[in-house]
Structure formats: structure tokens, C-alpha cells
Amino acid sequence: MKDYFLLMRPVHWIKNVFVFAALIFARQLQQPLGEAMTTLGQAVWAFVCFSLAASAIYIVNDLLDRQADSIHPERRHRPLAAGRVKVRAAVAIAGASAAVSLIAGGLLSAALAFILAAYMVQMVLYSLALKRVMILDCIIIASGFVLRAVAGAVAIEVSISPWLVICTFALCLFLAFSKRRGEIAQLQANSEAFRKTLGEYTPELLAHMLDVTSVLAVACFLLYAMDYRTKELFGTNNLVYTTPLVLYCIFRFSALTQKGVYSDPVRLILCDRPFQVGMLLWGLLSMAIVYGIGQRLGTLGLG
């Protein structure tokens, strides 16, 4: 049973926290307790739906890549690549996960079910062909995270700032390029054998792409923080003062990736303590600003 569970890559469900972005930044937790709990429940429901949808795609990807994964120093231990789970069983689990995701999403919102279906179709196309197209492969990955953020907004029936969508896309494009850079650093001469597009990327090109996307992500965050609609919603633009923490996390992420310390962004997020501290501080400070402290700072002339 353990291998069937690992096949779904539960550790990667952390990527679906983007579903909660709209819940937090639309200030839905500031409602009366009953309404806030209902909204939170809807967001959690969307998180579970997206986790199942993502697991279905992970299994499809592992089915298609099980031979290539067998030469990867870490992925060769995955259940399919190691031969611990049969193909027929993997197909059944993927199909069940996708079906439950769509049905559960439809029970909450037809729009959520549509987004889940669009995500799975997009990622199946990625697994079948698009991951072999340089640059487009990373764009598709980043788009998948944007769909997560949009799904969270749809699930709780709130609008989402265009700047937040663009910021999510830029940040996740940065993460996608980071993953490619980490794979090249880890696999070195075997990188093209594992993934064809890695032969087209170079460390220098990826370093340039990381610079561009990191700057874009920070610029979009600043534009979102300074946008007049953000001030109308939060009563302050003090979110801009969290920028040093944003820069620290992005720069540390980039540095560790380019050194080849981590080949997988998820492992970096789960294992690097300084990065975790930076993210925790940013999250706490942002929550404090979004939910009230910003107004009190504004009365002191800082807003």
C-alpha cells in the first residue's frame, strides 16, 4: 500500500497551496466565524481536488517516463521506475484520482471542475509532447500554478487581482527554470539522456532566464503591493515593506539551485531551513498587514 500512496507523490501536494492565495489576499478569513469557516472549507475542498488531479498527472508522467527515470539518481527509486507498482494498477489509480477530482470539483462549482479538466488536459499534453519543447515546457508548468490560484478564487467565489496572477506566473516560471538548472547541475553529462530539452538549455542561458524571471516576479509583486485596488482592499500599501524577505527567498532559492544543492524545488522548500524561515516570516508579516496591522501603521504615517 505504501508504494501505491507514494505513486501519487503526496509530498508534491505542497504545490497546491497556491489554491489558498485568493482566500488570504481577498481577506475572506476576516468574515464572521461561521462564514469564514465555510469559505475555508471550500478552499480546502479545492485543494484536495487539485491534489488528486495533480496526482493523476504525476502517475501519467511516471508511466511515460519510467525508462528515463530509471537512469536518474533519485527518480529511479519511484514505484513505477523501480518496478514495485504494475502499469495496470498505476493506470487504474490515475483514472480514479482524475474522476474523483472532477466529480468533487463539480459538486462545489462547475467552474472549478472546468479548471481542473483544463489543468489535466494541459498537463497530459505536456507529458506527451510539450515537455520536449524548450522554454514552452517551463511556461506550461507555470501556467499550471496560475490555474491553481484561479481555482482557489473560483472555489470561494471572489475575484483575483491580475497582478497577483501575473506575479504567480512569473514566480512559478522562475521555479520551473530553477528545476531545469538543478537537473543539469545534478545529472551533468547524463542530463540530455534523461530529458531531451536539457540538451538545449545551458547553465548560462538558464542563469539569464532565472535573472529575468526573478526580476519580473519581484516587479509584479511591487506593482501589486502599490496598486490602488490593493490599498482599497487592505487599507494600506504596507505590503511593499515585505519586499526584503521576498528578495531574500528568491536569491537564496536561485543560489542553491545554481550550485546544484537541490535538483527539485520541492526538496529545497521542504529541507532548507533558512529559506523556510524567510518564507514563514514573509507569510506572518503579510497576514498581519492584510488583516489589520497595516491600518495601524498607516495612522503612524507609514502607510
65 & 197 share domain: no
The answer on 1 and 138 residing in a single domain is yes
154 & 241 share domain: no
Q: Are residues 302 and 169 in the same domain?
A: yes
Structural contact between residues 187 and 238, judged by C-beta atoms closer than 8 angstroms? no
Average pLDDT rounded to a whole number, residues 158-170: 87
Residue 193 has pLDDT above 60, yes or no: no
High-pLDDT (> 90) share of the chain, %: 45
Which amino acid is residue 105, in one-letter code? G
User: Average of pLDDT values for 47-76?
Assistant: 85
Here the cell at position 90 is 498505476
CA distance 220 to 206: 21
**Which stretch of DSSP H or E encloses residue 140?**
helix 136-156
The mean pLDDT of the chain is 86
CA distances from 276 to 75, 239, 244 (A): 24, 19, 15
Contacts of residue 113, defined as CB under 8 A and 6 or more positions apart, other chains included, come to: 102, 105, 106
Whether residues 37 and 74 fall in one domain: yes
Residue 245 scores a pLDDT above 90: yes
Same domain? 165 vs 84: no
Residue 195 scores a pLDDT above 70: no
CA angle (216, 217, 223) in 5-degree steps: 85
Are 13 and 143 found together in one domain?
yes
pLDDT class of 66 with cuts at 50, 70, 90: confident
| Torsional class of 260: left (φ above 0), alpha (ψ -120 to 50), beta (otherwise) | left
Domain stops at, among 143, 160, 177: 160
CA distances from 215 to 19, 47, 222, 246, 275 (A): 24, 29, 11, 11, 18
Dump pLDDT digits (tens) for 215-241. Answer: 999 999 999 999 888 888 888 888 999
Domain identity same for 301 and 172:
yes
CA distance 289 to 23: 15
pLDDT (tens digit per residue) in 134-156:
889 999 999 999 999 999 999 99
**Of 145, 160, 175, which closes a domain?**
160
Q: Residue 148 in contact with residue 19, Cβ under 8 Å?
A: yes
Euclidean distance between the first and final Cα of the chain, in Å? 54
Residues 206 and 291 placed together within one structural domain of the fold? yes
Residues 191 and 175 both lie in one domain: yes
pLDDT at 300: 47
pLDDT exceeds 50 at position 294: no
Q: Which domain holds residue 81?
A: 1-160
What DSSP state is assigned to residue 134?
A: T
Domain closes at, from 115, 137, 160: 160
What per-residue confidence (pLDDT) applies to 139?
94
* Confidence band, pLDDT 50/70/90 cuts, at residue 302: very low
**pLDDT of 124 strictly over 50:** yes
pLDDT digits (tens, 9 = 90+) for 200-214: 788 888 888 988 999
> 75 and 110 share a domain?
yes
Q: How many domains does the chain have?
A: 2
The CB density around residue 80, as the number of other CB atoms within 10 Å, is 24
pLDDT at 32 over 90: no
User: What pTM was computed for the model?
Assistant: 0.86
Same domain for 217 and 151: no
CATH classification at residue 150: 1.10.357.140
Collapsing DSSP to helix, strand or coil, 86 comes out as coil
Mean pLDDT of 10-36: 89
Residues shown for the chain: 303
b/e per residue, 226-247, with b = 16+ CB within 10 A? ebeebbeebbbbbbbbbeebbe
Q: Please answer whether residues 225 and 258 qualify as being in contact, where contact means their C-beta atoms are separated by less than 8 angstroms.
A: no
